[in-house]
């Protein structure tokens, strides 16, 4: 027992101090719904440097887009300092200058050539001497670059990586960095797991939701400059004058953030909406209808981007309905858009039954190489099937040398646990971009091909199917925000590492309380590092517990959420059923796509086709994609294929359990609401991982007739009870 005596007054002081300490702690850990995304500046006040170091902000010229950048800086300044940012008309010592080559101060810096090379969206941020004063400048050839430079500077401050002798030079990898919303006019979102559509068609154009501007800010902050507002399964009504007026209203909110609006169109619009008797692309009335429609659109929205088209795919109409080709369809639309500098993004997601499904898009498209207009770009999903947990790249990349091609990635996690599983997709996209296609010799990576470095492309673009809805946290899962963030960052710079992207996102998103404060409280850096590690391994983990070793499309028929490798639906298209893909039998597992099988390997360039064709050289992550492999085939580590399958599923389950521990340990530095919400999603993910493991292993065991190795966790389900699961789709779809 201590013998120190306190007076009443001292005791009161201690009580007050404890009370205020708890108030402070609880304020910094106050409930947070995630709606601010990564745009949090409040904490920067306690980082090494903040915007307060600048004596004033000087906008050297006027312009809506430049003003958005300046406003963001001013808002951040207020959040960081609690004061208004001083503004000035002329540069002073230590000002932050924003301007383009139109301004004499920027011209006097002699960086005109450099800025011209970086283009109107590129920028420099630099410490410069103007007369006798030292200032920091965000300069660009166009006001768009100033906007991106402002966000870049803020990111440096948010992540504590700003240095006072800053010298940054940036320009985007792709011209069009575009989100594809699969949002319908009735407010539903196809494959959307974050609530309803953010576009409130019923209230537009009279009511403008404040979310539109928030959406624009968030996209601009990561360099996204385009958006397709509606589903590729498009309603012809989208192009009605009434709806175009609503699109015009959205475009007006997005424009100051340098975001152009695009629309998905239904190929039958001339017939369905225009009342014509046909939508044949070679029919003069149809061509005229599209020209007039394009003129109407551009009259309302002069900077309209163009059309995205899903044609002759999954039951949608297209040129083939009239005996025409993809070229006829795409070029007709391109001609209508050409006078207004609009573009057509024509999707290659087609699979008319016939051959092995993975070969169909290549079969249909590569023969048209060189025949599309120069304002057409072919939008190709990363893999040859459909956004599976892991696919080899689509062989169309590298095969079409005289046609502009753009990747389509899926940010919404249709096949990766939807908004319940923590899966950081950046690693998968990085793997895809870094893949060497060998199309023009070694080093012909997809990133080089799609930026036009190998075969020049007039248009370059990078598309991602959005995971955004009207949920408070935008994406359904707090960590799904990281996928939106990563998509934008990779579209801006396709050489960024996932590690850097994760690092930025964590620091910008979980800044409450700020990192330095955490350190004072003794929260070790290791928590942040563990979260980063969790993110970086999470894609492989999901592959491990869902579809390891090249397995694919063994999902439940309707919802694409859980496993149903046994699924059989009488009368269904065979290539919509899991058995088509896994081909399990008493001999082994996997699809033979070698020269002895469907010869899909033949669509890849040498030496990939030989590697994929040879079971001993094929990367094990694609083994069952390309080969029907005997159950007792020896893997590189000496295990049989069956044992490897079992251990890999188990590894996936164990990894999710590790994630739960990592997250629980991070409780002290994450606000209560986001902590609890992620914790509860990880519990679902852990249960789902076991569901996947048990379903797949117990089902495949009926063919392999081998024991599940005894040192791994035993199944906790019966196969029959798993087969009986029918999800309530309202929750999942
Ligand atoms: C928009 C998959 C999805 C569909 C989607 C389609 C596409 O098949 O399940 O919901 O339709 O891809 O990309 O067109």
pLDDT digits (tens, 9 = 90+) for 173-196: 999 999 999 999 999 999 999 999
Dist. CA 413 → ligand 1 center (Å): 12
pLDDT at position 4: 40
Band (527; pLDDT cuts 50, 70, 90): confident
The secondary structure element, H or E, covering residue 609 is: helix 608-613
Mean pLDDT, residues 331-355 taken together:
96
**C-alpha–C-alpha distance, residues 462 and 493, integer Å:** 11
Does the pLDDT at position 573 exceed 60? Answer: yes
d(CA 382, CA 392): 8
Terminal alpha carbon distance of the chain: 62
Among 50-59, 590-599, 645-654, name the one with the lowest average pLDDT.
50-59
Structure tokens of 65?
């887009």
Q: Whose CA is nearest to atom 12 of ligand 1?
A: 386
Mean pLDDT of the 556-567 span: 92
Most confident among 131-140, 510-519, 536-545 (mean pLDDT): 536-545
User: Token pair 């209230």 is at which residue?
Assistant: 203
Q: How far is CA 296 from the centre of its chain?
A: 32
Q: What is the pLDDT of residues 279-325, one digit of tens each?
A: 999 999 999 999 999 999 999 999 999 999 999 999 999 999 999 99
Q: Which residue minimizes the CA distance to atom 13 of ligand 1?
A: 349
Q: Which residues of 649-670 are buried (b: 16+ CB within 10 A; e: fewer)?
A: bbbbbbbbeebbebbeebeebb
Nearest CA to ligand 1 atom 11: 233
Residue 702: what pLDDT? 98
pLDDT digits (tens, 9 = 90+) for 400-444: 999 999 999 999 999 999 999 999 999 999 999 999 999 999 999
Q: What is the pLDDT of residue 31?
A: 58
pLDDT of residue 157: 92
pLDDT at 5: 47
Confidence label for 523 from pLDDT (cuts 50, 70 and 90): low
Query: Is residue 733 pLDDT above 90, yes or no?
Result: no
Mean pLDDT of the chain: 93
> Hey, how many other C-beta atoms are within 10 angstroms of the C-beta on 121?
24
Active site positions, annotated: 314, 386, 414
Which atom belonging to ligand 1 lies closest to the Cα atom of 381? 13
3-state secondary structure of 84: coil
d(CA 702, CA 719): 10
Contact 603, 721 (CB under 8 A): no
Query: How confident is the model over 554-561, as a mean pLDDT?
Result: 90
- Per-residue pLDDT reduced to its tens digit, 447-489: 999 999 999 999 999 999 999 999 999 999 999 999 999 999 9
Question: What residues line ligand 1, using a CB cutoff of 6 Å?
Answer: 182, 190-191, 231-233, 310, 314, 349, 386, 414
Cβ contact 56:88 at 8 Å = yes
- pLDDT of residue 513 exceeding 80, the answer is no
* 417 CA → ligand 1 middle, Å: 16
Q: What is the pLDDT of residues 612-647, one digit of tens each?
A: 999 999 999 999 999 999 999 999 999 999 999 999
| Lowest-confidence region among 66-70, 79-83, 203-207, 688-692 | 79-83
Q: Report the candidate in 354, 692, 696 with the shortest Cα–Cα distance to residue 541.
A: 692
| This prediction's pTM | 0.94
Going from the Cα of 428 to the center of ligand 1, the distance in angstroms, rounded, reads 19
Distance 695 CA to ligand 1 centre (A): 25
Q: What is the pLDDT of residue 73?
A: 97
Q: pLDDT tens digits for 713-723?
A: 999 999 999 99
Kindly state the average pLDDT of the residues 225-250.
Answer: 98
- Range 239-244 average pLDDT: 98
Q: What is the pLDDT of residue 729?
A: 53
């Amino acid at each position: 027992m201590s013998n120190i005596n306190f007076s009443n007054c001292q005791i009161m002081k201690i009580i007050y101090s404890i009370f205020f300490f708890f108030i402070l702690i609880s304020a910094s850990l106050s409930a947070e719904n995630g709606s601010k995304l990564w745009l949090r500046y409040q904490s920067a006040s306690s980082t090494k440097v903040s915007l307060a170091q600048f004596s004033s902000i000087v906008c050297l010229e006027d312009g809506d887009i430049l003003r958005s950048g300046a406003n963001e800086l001013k808002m951040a300044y207020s959040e960081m300092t609690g004061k208004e940012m001083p503004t000035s008309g002329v540069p002073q010592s230590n000002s932050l200058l924003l301007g383009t080559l139109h301004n004499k101060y920027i011209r006097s810096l002699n960086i005109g050539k450099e800025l011209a090379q970086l283009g109107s969206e590129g920028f420099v941020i630099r410490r410069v001497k103007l007369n006798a004063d030292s200032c920091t400048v965000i300069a660009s050839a166009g006001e768009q670059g100033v906007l991106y430079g402002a966000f870049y500077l803020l990111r440096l401050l948010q992540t504590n990586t700003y240095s006072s002798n800053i010298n940054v030079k940036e320009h985007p990898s792709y011209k069009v960095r575009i989100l594809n919303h699969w949002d319908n006019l009735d407010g539903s979102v196809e494959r959307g797991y974050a609530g309803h559509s953010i576009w409130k068609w019923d209230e537009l154009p009279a009511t403008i939701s404040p979310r539109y501007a928030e959406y624009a800010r968030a996209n601009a902050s990561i360099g996204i400059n385009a958006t397709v507002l509606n589903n590729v399964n498009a309603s012809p009504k989208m192009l009605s004058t009434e709806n175009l007026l609503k699109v015009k209203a959205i475009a007006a909110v997005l424009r100051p953030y340098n975001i152009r609006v695009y629309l998905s169109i239904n190929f039958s619009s001339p017939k369905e909406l225009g009342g014509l008797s046909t939508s044949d692309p070679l029919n003069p009335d149809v061509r005229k209808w599209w020209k007039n429609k394009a003129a109407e659109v551009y009259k309302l929205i002069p900077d309209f981007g163009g059309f995205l088209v899903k044609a002759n795919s999954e039951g949608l109409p297209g040129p083939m309905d009239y005996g025409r080709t993809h070229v006829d369809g795409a070029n007709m639309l391109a001609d209508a858009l050409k006078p207004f500098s609009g573009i057509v993004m024509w999707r290659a997601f087609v699979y008319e039954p016939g051959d092995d499904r993975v070969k169909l898009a290549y079969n249909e498209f590569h023969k048209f190489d060189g025949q599309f207009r120069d304002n057409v770009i072919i939008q190709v999903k990363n893999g040859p099937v459909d956004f599976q947990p892991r696919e080899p790249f689509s062989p169309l990349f590298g095969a079409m040398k005289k046609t502009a091609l753009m990747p389509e990635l899926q940010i919404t996690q249709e096949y990766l646990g939807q908004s319940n599983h923590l899966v950081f997709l950046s690693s998968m996209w990085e793997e895809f971009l870094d893949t060497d296609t060998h199309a023009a010799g070694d080093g012909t990576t997809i990133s080089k091909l799609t930026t036009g470095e190998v075969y020049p492309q007039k248009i370059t673009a990078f598309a991602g199917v959005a995971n955004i809805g009207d949920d408070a946290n935008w994406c359904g899962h707090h960590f799904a925000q990281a996928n939106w963030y990563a998509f934008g960052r990779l579209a801006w710079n396709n050489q960024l590492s996932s590690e850097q992207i994760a690092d930025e996102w964590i620091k910008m998103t979980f800044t409450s309380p700020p990192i330095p404060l955490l350190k004072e409280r003794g929260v070790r850096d290791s928590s942040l590092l563990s979260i980063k590690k969790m993110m970086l391994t999470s894609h492989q983990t999901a592959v491990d517990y869902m579809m390891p070793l090249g397995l694919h499309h063994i999902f439940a028929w309707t919802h694409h959420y859980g496993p149903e490798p046994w699924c059989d639906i009488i009368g269904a298209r065979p290539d919509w059923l899991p058995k088509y893909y896994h081909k399990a039998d008493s001999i082994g597992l996997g699809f033979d796509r070698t020269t002895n099988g469907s010869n899909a390997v033949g669509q890849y360039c040498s030496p990939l086709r030989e590697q994929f064709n040879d079971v001993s050289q094929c990367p094990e992550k694609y083994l069952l994609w390309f080969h029907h492999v005997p159950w007792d085939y020896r893997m590189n580590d000496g295990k049989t294929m069956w044992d490897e399958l079992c251990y890999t599923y188990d590894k996936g389950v164990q990894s999710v359990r590790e994630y739960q521990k990592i997250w629980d340990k991070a409780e002290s530095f994450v606000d209560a609401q986001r902590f609890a919400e992620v914790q509860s999603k990880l519990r679902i993910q852990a249960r789902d991982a076991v569901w996947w493991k048990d379903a797949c292993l117990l089902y495949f065991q009926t063919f392999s007739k081998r024991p599940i190795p005894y040192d791994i966790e035993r199944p906790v389900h019966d196969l029959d009870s798993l087969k009986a699961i029918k999800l309530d789709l309202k929750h999942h779809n």
